[in-house]
């Protein structure tokens, strides 16, 4: 029994040595057959069981099985080592560079919202005329949106703009005019500023009315400002936007925060003033309300109306974009249809 056990140990030592120095999967497979296969030398040891005294057979069987497991484990370990070495070699050979750009798949470029394009254009024109571009919040107080603008509580003019109220007593600004007094308080006079932004009204929507739309407010305050200044700046703005010398006219219009107040019309671009369906045969298209800043509003902003005068206008950016791009329904602007937006490029 002892000699056969020594033989077993020697076989295991030899197997482990050969496995340890095997250089590839084929050699491992050959060794597996050589030691563990049906005719393998370890399997053959079990077959020599008959030469062993009966009482020692279980011990011998156990030893052989342990020897087989040892060899099987060694084969597995060597297999993993060889695989790892293969992967390492492949990576080294490939000169893999993780900083290279990915595959060049065609990517879809977005486009600007038409209102953003028109807004950028208006901002650029006013910046060239020395105006500041200001940005005020959409959640506003009753005071800045109404009272400071000469619209006290219970004033019928509050009904001109149906309001979305907030739970804390504030509101979503109904017009960018809400920034007028903020700008006066912040910068004093003289002042030239425009402030574009989103405004909200509790309104039923139709082709030209949205509950959420964009305006841009213009405000100029200085000594001896008159309606003539207002008309000159408006002509400059509109000619730059439409790309030709526009003709404008003022009609009286009522807003509590301007005195006098006007509606500014431009001569119809579709018919040149002859009369057509676009201008409802009047030759004129209503474009924006404006006027000279009311003395009470100057006072709200901490300015002395004896010393300072000014003009203000409130241009509907959404409507301007509709005219410029001949868009017939305002609700496209707030819809999510990317095919609509894909028609517009980048701001010029
Ligand atoms: C105002 O909002 C005044 N704050 C404008 C103003 C400013 C007057 C400074 C005098 C001095 P109005 O409610 O008319 O006014 O709105 C101004 C412009 O916003 C309109 O001419 C129109 O172009 C646009 N607008 C008004 N309501 C809507 C709406 N529901 N959807 C889309 N555009 C609208």
| DSSP secondary structure letter of residue 206 | B
Cα Rg for the chain, rounded, in angstroms? 43
Q: How far apart are the first and last CA of the chain?
A: 98
* Structure confidence at residue 180 (pLDDT): 98
In a shared domain, residues 220 and 303: yes
Quick: pLDDT tens for 18-53.
999 998 989 999 999 998 888 888 888 878 777 788
Average pLDDT over residues 172-184: 98
Identify which has the larger pLDDT, 333 or 52. Answer: 333
Nearest CA to ligand 1 atom 10: 290
* Structure confidence at residue 207 (pLDDT): 82
Q: Beta strands of 71-211 (E only): which ranges? A: 132-133, 139-140, 164-165, 171-172, 191-200
List, chain by chain if needed, residues with CB within 6 Å of any ligand 1 atom: 161, 175, 177, 201, 203, 209-210, 213, 215, 255, 258, 261, 288-291, 312-314, 316, 318-319, 330
Distance from the alpha carbon of residue 158 to the mean position of ligand 1, in angstroms: 13
Question: Is 328 a member of any domain?
Answer: yes
Atom of ligand 1 nearest to the CA of 210: 31
Give the rounded percent of residues in the chain with a pLDDT score beyond 90: 51
Q: How far apart are CA 217 and CA 159, in angstroms?
A: 20
Give the rounded percent of residues in the chain with a pLDDT score beyond 70: 99
Question: Is 348 a member of any domain?
Answer: no
Q: How far apart are CA 172 and CA 305, in angstroms?
A: 29
Distance from the alpha carbon of residue 316 to the mean position of ligand 1, in angstroms: 6
Domain residue limits at 20? 2-92
In a shared domain, residues 120 and 82: no
* Structure confidence at residue 346 (pLDDT): 66
* Structure confidence at residue 96 (pLDDT): 74
Nearest CA to ligand 1 atom 19: 316
Mean pLDDT of the chain: 89
CA 254 to chain centre: 39
**pLDDT higher than threshold 90 for residue 93:** no
Q: How far apart are CA 165 and CA 304, in angstroms?
A: 32
Distance from the alpha carbon of residue 176 to the mean position of ligand 1, in angstroms: 9
3-state secondary structure of 10: helix
In a shared domain, residues 70 and 128: no
* Structure confidence at residue 279 (pLDDT): 78
Nearest CA to ligand 1 atom 30: 209
Q: How far apart are CA 318 and CA 212, in angstroms?
A: 10
Phi-psi label, residue 190: left if phi above 0, alpha if psi -120 to 50, beta otherwise:
beta
Our separate counts of H helices and E strands in the chain read 11, 10
Average pLDDT over residues 163-190: 96
* Structure confidence at residue 256 (pLDDT): 95
* Structure confidence at residue 283 (pLDDT): 87
For residue 293, the domain's CATH number is 3.30.930.10
Specify the pTM: 0.70
Nearest CA to ligand 1 atom 14: 289
In a shared domain, residues 179 and 37: no
Between 97-101, 144-148, 256-260, the lowest mean confidence (pLDDT) is in 97-101
Other CB atoms within 10 Å distance of the CB of residue 331: 13
Between 51-55, 93-97, 271-275, the lowest mean confidence (pLDDT) is in 93-97
Question: Is 99 a member of any domain?
Answer: no
Say how many domains are in the chain: 2
Average pLDDT over residues 332-343: 87
Nearest CA to ligand 1 atom 20: 316
**pLDDT higher than threshold 90 for residue 160:** no
* Structure confidence at residue 214 (pLDDT): 96
């Amino acid at each position: 029994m002892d000699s056969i056990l020594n033989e077993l140990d020697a076989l295991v030592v030899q197997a482990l040595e050969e496995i340890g120095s095997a250089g590839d999967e084929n050699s491992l497979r050959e060794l597996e057959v050589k030691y563990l296969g049906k005719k393998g030398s370890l399997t053959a040891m079990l077959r020599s069981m008959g030469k062993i005294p009966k009482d020692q057979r279980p011990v011998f069987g156990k030893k052989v099985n342990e020897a087989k497991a040892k060899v099987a484990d060694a084969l597995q370990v060597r297999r993993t080592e060889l695989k790892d070495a293969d992967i390492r070699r492949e990576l080294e050979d490939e000169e893999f560079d993780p900083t290279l750009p990915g595959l060049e798949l065609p990517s879809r470029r977005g486009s600007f919202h038409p209102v953003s394009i028109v807004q950028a254009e208006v901002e650029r024109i006013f910046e060239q005329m020395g105006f500041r571009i200001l940005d005020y919040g959409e959640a506003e107080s009753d005071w800045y949106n109404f009272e400071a603008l000469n619209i006290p509580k219970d004033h019928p003019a509050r009904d001109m703009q149906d309001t979305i109220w907030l739970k804390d007593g504030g509101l979503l600004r109904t017009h960018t005019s809400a920034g007028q007094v903020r700008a006066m308080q912040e910068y004093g006079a003289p002042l030239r500023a425009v402030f574009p932004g989103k405004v909200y009204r509790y309104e039923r929507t139709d082709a030209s009315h949205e509950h959420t739309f964009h305006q841009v407010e213009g405000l100029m305050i200085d000594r001896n400002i008159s309606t003539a200044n207002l008309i000159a700046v408006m002509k400059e703005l509109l000619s730059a936007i439409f790309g030709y010398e526009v003709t404008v006219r003022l009609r009286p219009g009522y807003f509590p925060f301007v005195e006098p107040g006007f509606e500014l019309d431009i001569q119809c671009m579709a018919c040149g003033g002859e009369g057509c369906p676009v201008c409802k045969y009047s030759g004129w298209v209503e474009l924006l309300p404006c006027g000279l800043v009311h003395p009470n509003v100057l006072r709200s902003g901490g300015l002395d109306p004896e010393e300072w005068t000014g003009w203000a206008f409130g241009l509907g950016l959404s409507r301007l974009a509709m005219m410029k791009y001949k868009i017939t329904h305002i609700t496209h602007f707030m819809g999510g249809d990317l095919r609509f937006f894909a028609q517009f490029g980048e701001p010029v």
